[in-house]
A = this chain, B = another copy of it.
Amino acid sequence: MTPEPFAMRFAQARVKYGPLVFGLDPSAKVLADWGLGDDPGGLERFVDITLEAAVGVVGTVKPQSAFYERHGWRGLRTLARLVSEARSAGLLVLLDAKRGDVGSTNEAYAEAYLGEGAGMPVDAMTVTAYLGLGAMREFIDRAVAHACGLFVVTRSSNPEGRVIQEAIGTNGQSVEGRLVADIARLNAALAPGGQGPVGAVFGPTHGPPRGMDLKGMGGLFLAPGVGEQGATPGDVAACFASCPERVLPSASRCLLACGPEVAALKGAISKLNAQLQHSLGL
């Protein structure tokens, strides 16, 4: 039985817990601060602690693939356990992997992560479109078939990305603006009048999204960088004023800094979730 589309599952989780996405980023620093080894064993403990902290207080977790790849295939085995146990516990898993390549390779990445027959099935994932949104057909087809969500990096939270994302294409639109417009067309065709499977990663740290119709994009927004990277709940609310119910604000370092005690982590998550709900007027 195919589940409901990811956008609907997120909406249900948002009503229940709030919009926050808990970023599970076991950097070397976090492992050291928590007194864990910077090795697969330490990673296993990190996963146990953060899953226990997440259940019951947040709807979506976002492991960043890089921090598991650091530990080679054993790290990926731990990531696979994280994904499986989180989903079994009712959490949505958004894998932050930022994959992206030519079409035939994107097909393989889609087969790796989307759908129950995948190598490591998740609910949603991030992708990067430097090789063109037009090369992402296989990602989109599999996301539709398996009710998964896709988040295309459009406007990143860091300053270094502006050089590329603000560049102006032959049609007069910025790179990021054209991605938003092209995603809107895809979603309008896939889910007329509703919300489609193609979302955007959209950093709220660069001021208002001038010239872009975020609500009209017809999809969800992952807003990274809340807390440590400088975005406040107010920044999130201002950026997504036209569609506050469609934002997944993500925080990792500012929450993990409260660990490794599970109760402290749960408290920090709940507090930030409440702040975001209030700021977004949900």
Q: Could you say which residues of chain B place their CB within 8 Å of the CB of A161?
A: 130-132, 135
Q: Is A44 an interface residue (CB 8 A)?
A: no
* Cα–Cα, bound, A74→B72 (Å): 11
User: Nearest B residue to A66 by beta-carbon distance?
Assistant: B108
Partner of A164, one of B64, B105, B129, B163: B129
* Cα–Cα, bound, A105→B161 (Å): 14
* Cα–Cα, bound, A157→B130 (Å): 12
Interface size of A in residues (CB-CB distance below 8 Å)? 63
Most buried by B among A72, A162, A175: A72
Q: Could you say which residues of chain B place their CB within 8 Å of the CB of A74?
A: 73
Q: Is A36 an interface residue (CB 8 A)?
A: no
Q: Is A100 an interface residue (CB 8 A)?
A: yes
| Distance between A258 CB and nearest chain B CB, rounded to angstroms | 18
Q: Could you say which residues of chain B place their CB within 8 Å of the CB of A133?
A: 160, 163
Residues of A within 8 A of B (CB): 25, 27-28, 64, 66-67, 69-77, 79-80, 96, 98-106, 108-109, 111-113, 118-120, 128-135, 153, 156-170, 174-175, 178, 229
Q: Could you say which residues of chain B place their CB within 8 Å of the CB of A153?
A: 130-131
| Distance between A36 CB and nearest chain B CB, rounded to angstroms | 16
Q: A69-B119, A169-B163 are in contact. Are A158 and B135 (CB under 8 A)?
A: yes
> Contact between B156 and A102 (Cβ–Cβ < 8 Å)?
yes
Q: A66-B108, A73-B77, A101-B98 are in contact. Are A163 and B178 (CB under 8 A)?
A: yes
User: Nearest B residue to A105 by beta-carbon distance?
Assistant: B66
Q: Could you say which residues of chain B place their CB within 8 Å of the CB of A28?
A: 111
User: Nearest B residue to A38 by beta-carbon distance?
Assistant: B111
| Distance between A49 CB and nearest chain B CB, rounded to angstroms | 19
* Cα–Cα, bound, A69→B65 (Å): 12
User: Nearest B residue to A225 by beta-carbon distance?
Assistant: B102
* Cα–Cα, bound, A106→B156 (Å): 14
* Cα–Cα, bound, A158→B130 (Å): 11
> Contact between B108 and A157 (Cβ–Cβ < 8 Å)?
no
Q: A98-B100, A131-B161, A169-B164 are in contact. Are A109 and B69 (CB under 8 A)?
A: yes
> Contact between B163 and A119 (Cβ–Cβ < 8 Å)?
no
> Contact between A112 and B69 (Cβ–Cβ < 8 Å)?
yes
Partner of A158, one of B119, B120, B132: B132
User: Nearest B residue to A101 by beta-carbon distance?
Assistant: B98
Q: Could you say which residues of chain B place their CB within 8 Å of the CB of A73?
A: 73-74, 76-77, 79-80, 119-120
A-B complex: 6 closest residue pairs judged by Cβ atoms: A132-B160, A134-B160, A72-B119, A167-B167, A66-B108, A69-B112
